[in-house]
Structure 1
Amino acid sequence: MNSQWLKFAWLNTLRNRRRSAVTVGIAALGTAAILLAGGFALFTYQALEQSAARTTGHLIVGKAEQFQRDEDTPLQHGLDDVAALKATLLADPDVRQVLPRVEFSGLISNGDKSTVMMAAGIDPDAEFAVKGPFLKVTAGEVLQSSEHGKVMLGEGLARSLKATPGTSLTLLASTTEGALNALDVTVQGVFSTGIPDIDKRLVYTDVATAQQLLVTQRVSSLGVFLRSMDATTPAHARVAAALPKLAVQTWLDQATFYKSVKELYNRIFGALGLIIGVIVVFVVTNAMAMAIIERTREVGTLRALGTLPAQLTQSFALEGMVLGGAGALLGALVALAVSVALLVFPVEMPPPPGRSNGYPLNIVMDPALYAATLATMIVLSMLASAFVARRTVTRPIVDALAHV
């Protein structure tokens, strides 16, 4: 019986093919817009997740004070006995690498000019092996763990100091005891992070050089890199249990930019989806209302022959399902084609505010997003059709037959 009613619904939509085609077309455009916007948002979220985890590590281990308050002197809340901590962390099966980090600030000078720097001491070989090409080297070479007394400068900072690979500079910073210390270094390379404001201040050196300048053996924190993003939550619980005296944060705890962008995009694309959904519902409602008005006498005839109002409501709801379902399916195919085309023919997006580098435009083809969108479109179309049909199908038979 249901298949027969579905067949009737399909044939009824073909009565006015132009109107049905317009309805299906608008539903298809709405569905494609929702899927493309949602896919772009998912791509942005995934890219920012990977960037945040690659920058800090999936987990960050440090003293609680390191995350909660500012330091009076460099590495006041730093970690001691780093070798033992690394060995404990590497014993976890999901841990791929542990990277120490020494964060400090001070002045950098070429002899004639001094400027403020934000510096980080890293383990270069492990850093670049784990993170990949997270910096764009524009001159010189990357740091080597076997070489000390070398630095890499951000483009803006190198330009300000007129420094090139091989230039000698001096780093000045407060030691852990509060005294001022200076250290001569050589520029190994110049890089760009893609964020000009950061490139004006950022300096990379190796851990040993940073510790020599600060006169300490401590590090600020340890970045724990896992085998996959999915391992973050279980690994966080195990590491926190293994190191009860230390604080363990996840990449999400420090991903302020990611959380801000996600909140903004959720609101923007949520409002966009709501608007498009309302438009599609109104289009389907209008199409079904016109079809129902045209067939009022037909409805009266069917009622006179014994057809129940519930059966007629079901028939009109199935017509809405056919129109909405056809539009949603066509829109999904359009969105899928556009997403695949962007992989074959890459499109470069312009740099976002505050950055100097663009990024490729990709649309995530998420099965859950497609299924939810198609189901929502179909359900809304059926509900809209049933809503506009209920008054006509319950109209007195004599009035329906007399309708002109």
Structure 2
Amino acid sequence: MNKMNIIKLARLAWRNLLRNGRRTLITLLVSSAGFAALAIVAGYMEFTFYGLQEMTICRGFTAGGGTGHLQIFRKEALDREERFPLEYGIGQNQTIQSEIEKEKNVLATIPRIEFNGLISNGEKSISFLGTGVVPEKEIKLIDYWNQTNKMTNSRRMDNSAYLNLAKGAPNGVLVGEEMAKALDAKVGTNLMLMSTTVDGAVNAVDVTVAGIARNPMKSIDRYYLVSHLETAQNLMFTDKVSKIVVVLNNTGNTQSAIPSISRRINGSGSSGSFSIVPWQSLAEYYYSVRDAYNIIFSFTGIIVVVIVFLSCANTMLMATMERVREIGTLKAIGISNSWISLMFLLEGFFIGLLSVAGGIVLKFLFSIIINNSGFRMPPPPGMTSSYLLNIFPAMEFLPWISLLVIASTTLSGLLALIKIRKISIVNSLSHV
């Protein structure tokens, strides 16, 4: 056939779809709903992964707080076991912070001390996992979260706990809700911290509860404690810090910032005293959740595609059975099975195109409804906070979903091809 005949075949396929409008409409609705379902799942997946990524960076899922984009350690701290606390801590950290903050993509540097010990109210003692911080600098991590372009007012992170710590007594601490319940502590309650110094001795300091915070992880909330950096240093008799957290202006700049920061703190040589660890290497919880969600979303996508395929295949088979005499007539005038099959494939292709158009409309319509509904999702397993459901546009996924739906509707015509090849001219012309 020449080009004109192919165009005529496409017109014939289009008219065949319009000939039974109700059946075509039902198939289109199923296929469009399938496209919209896949696109909404992709939007929810993008929202979930983005939220987990930025939550890991800004707040974290451990007692140590948010990972930041980068963390600076002494190399020995990563390669060896410490014989005593802060044996491989970072000294003169303010000088290092000043050098790092000269980089154009760096928003802030945050020194931290990680320590542990016992906390007591005089009658009861429980263990704690503590972090010594500079509250004013920790607030910069929260500011980064609140200023990201995908955050709305309803998802802004509260910085009141760190503000209370900054404005409170010099020896103020933040404790987790479960710890506060266990010690019967309230804001203003006096407690005592006991820990091991860098010399191996036991030291104690009196502290005051400046605020009660909720850690994202339920299992950590009972041991969660945050103190001023000076309080932790006085408790441990040291001027070192465990690490320096670096906050960048964009997560996408993480890898590109490492070489320039390394040159500033390690010099131009290949060796140096410090290791720079990106947040991806510190985000075990993020990757475990992402892997689980990828399996769930992939399985959901397969089910939706199968439903779309079977719906279109059913339409094509019904059309084949209703048009047996038409198919026999086409064969009788010399049209080959291949061209008749191509006509059915074109019908499936047109259904796919219309499904994509309808699916895009449904996707954005339902996304608007969901994003403005204020619906809250329950806390994920092991966590304490619910979160607002949101569907991101996920524009980069739409071309792939479109190809998947069009391929499913087009290839559904292959089942009709098997039936067409079995139809003989004589039997088809006498078919009722």
Q: 1:357 and 1:217 mapped to 2: Cα distance?
A: 36
Report Cα offsets for 1:131-157 as digits up to 9, x if no partner: 24756758x962118962221111111
Residue 123 (structure 1) aligned with residue 134 (structure 2): yes
Equivalent position of 2:108 in the other structure:
97
Q: Is 2:168–2:210's contact at 8 Å kept on the other side of the alignment? A: no
Cα 1:319–1:177, aligned 2, differ >3 Å: closer, same or farther? same
Equivalent position of 1:31 in the other structure:
35
Residue 53 (structure 1) aligned with residue 57 (structure 2): yes
Q: Is 1:297–1:401's contact at 8 Å kept on the other side of the alignment? A: yes
Equivalent position of 1:109 in the other structure:
120
Cα 1:256–1:217, aligned 2, differ >3 Å: closer, same or farther? same
Larger deviation, residues 58-67 vs 358-367: 58-67
- Secondary structure, aligned partner of 1:197: coil
The share of aligned pairs that are identical, in percent, is: 32
Equivalent position of 1:319 in the other structure:
347
Report Cα offsets for 1:28-86 as digits up to 9, x if no partner: 22222222222211111000000111111101111234345553422122112212211
Cα 1:354–1:264, aligned 2, differ >3 Å: closer, same or farther? same
Give the alignment partner of residue 385 of structure 1, picking from 402, 413, 419.
413
TM-score normalized with structure 1 length:
0.92
Q: 2:184 and 2:14 mapped to 1: Cα distance?
A: 74
Report Cα offsets for 1:92-111 as digits up to 9, x if no partner: 21111110110000011122
Q: Tell me by how many angstroms 1:208 deviates.
A: 1.3
- The amino acid across from 1:235 in the alignment is A
Equivalent position of 1:5 in the other structure:
9
Q: 2:429 and 2:118 mapped to 1: Cα distance?
A: 91
Q: 2:334 and 2:99 mapped to 1: Cα distance?
A: 79
Which runs of no fewer than 5 residues in structure 2 stay unpaired?
A: 59-65, 144-155, 267-271
- The amino acid across from 1:205 in the alignment is S
Which stretches of structure 1, 4 residues or more, deviate above 4 A after TM superposition?
A: 133-138, 393-400
Q: Tell me by how many angstroms 1:285 deviates.
A: 1.2
TM-score normalized with structure 2 length:
0.86
1:333-348 correspondence to structure 2 within 5 Å: 333-348=361-376
Q: Tell me by how many angstroms 1:292 deviates.
A: 1.8
Residue 159 (structure 1) aligned with residue 170 (structure 2): no
Q: Tell me by how many angstroms 1:310 deviates.
A: 3.6
Residue 283 (structure 1) aligned with residue 311 (structure 2): yes
Q: 1:173 and 1:29 mapped to 2: Cα distance?
A: 60
Q: 1:146 and 1:193 mapped to 2: Cα distance?
A: 20
Q: Is 2:341–2:420's contact at 8 Å kept on the other side of the alignment? A: no
Residue 220 (structure 1) aligned with residue 242 (structure 2): yes
1:240-259 correspondence to structure 2 within 5 Å: 240-242=262-264, 243=266, 244-259=272-287
Q: 1:123 and 1:183 mapped to 2: Cα distance?
A: 18
Which runs of no fewer than 5 residues in structure 1 stay unpaired?
A: none
The total of aligned residue pairs comes to: 403
Q: Tell me by how many angstroms 1:207 deviates.
A: 1.1
- Secondary structure, aligned partner of 1:200: helix
Q: 1:308 and 1:240 mapped to 2: Cα distance?
A: 69
